Amino acid sequence: MPKKILVIEDDTNIAELLRLYLEKGGYEVSNAYDGGKGLSEFERFKPDLVLLDIMLPVMDGWAVCNEIRLTSKTPIIMLTAKGETFDKVSGLEMGADDYIVKPFEMKELLARVKAVLRRYNDEEKPSERKLVFDKLEINMDSFELIVDGKKVDTPPKEMELLFHLASSPNRVYTRNQLLDEVWGFDYFGDSRTVDVHIKRLREKLENVSDQWSLKTVWGVGYKFELNEKK
């Protein structure tokens, strides 16, 4: 069964071009031309991935992304205008999985779609992925982060990043290593993406326990540090 992609884009020419290329790539595609209809179509179509423009009528891309994330972890790739750096960072903070800047090559967009879908393919997930530390539980099967006994809403990519770091305590990862290993070798973003996600994780995890911490290794990268009691 082909993967389903929802394109929420108000420019009908771009939307139609995306539909043609994606269908040629073997995907089933549905188009919506404003944010409100995009949410309705998301519920009806139940896509495997969403391509989401930012500047939309009725409801902008920020609001659509936020509404989807309230109920679903379906991957979202944001479509941003060239030079909208704030938009890129904001989208990632809201839970988008990737972004692509207009104008873009269709070959690049198809590579992004393929990479994101591959990372979210349930068949490729291990049967159990859960880490437990003092006052911290990272459960990748249910995509739940439990901090000091309370569930903390956390976007999928933040979960993946934290799980990756915590899977190898005290190991230092460079930003480029994290981009390669968490986002995928064919991710086209920059290292600031990692910094954004680390910042958001710190807001959730700071001062929770004296037995572990999310550390910056200046000039190198990041690590999940265990401070084992003697």
- Sequence-distant (6+) residues with CB within 8 A of 177 are 221
Distance CA 1, CA 130 (A): 30
pTM over 0.75: no
Q: What is the pLDDT of residues 127-172, one digit of tens each?
A: 558 899 999 999 988 889 999 999 999 998 899 999 999 999 999 9
Q: Which helix (H) or strand (E) holds 24?
A: helix 12-24
Q: What is the pLDDT of residues 215-224, one digit of tens each?
A: 999 989 999 9
For the chain, list the domains and their CATH numbers.
Answer: 4-123 (3.40.50.2300), 130-226 (1.10.10.10)
pLDDT at 201 over 70: yes
Q: What is the pLDDT of residues 46-69, one digit of tens each?
A: 999 999 998 899 999 989 999 999
pLDDT band at 15 (very low <50, low <70, confident <90, very high): very high
Cβ(35)–Cβ(58) below 8 Å = yes
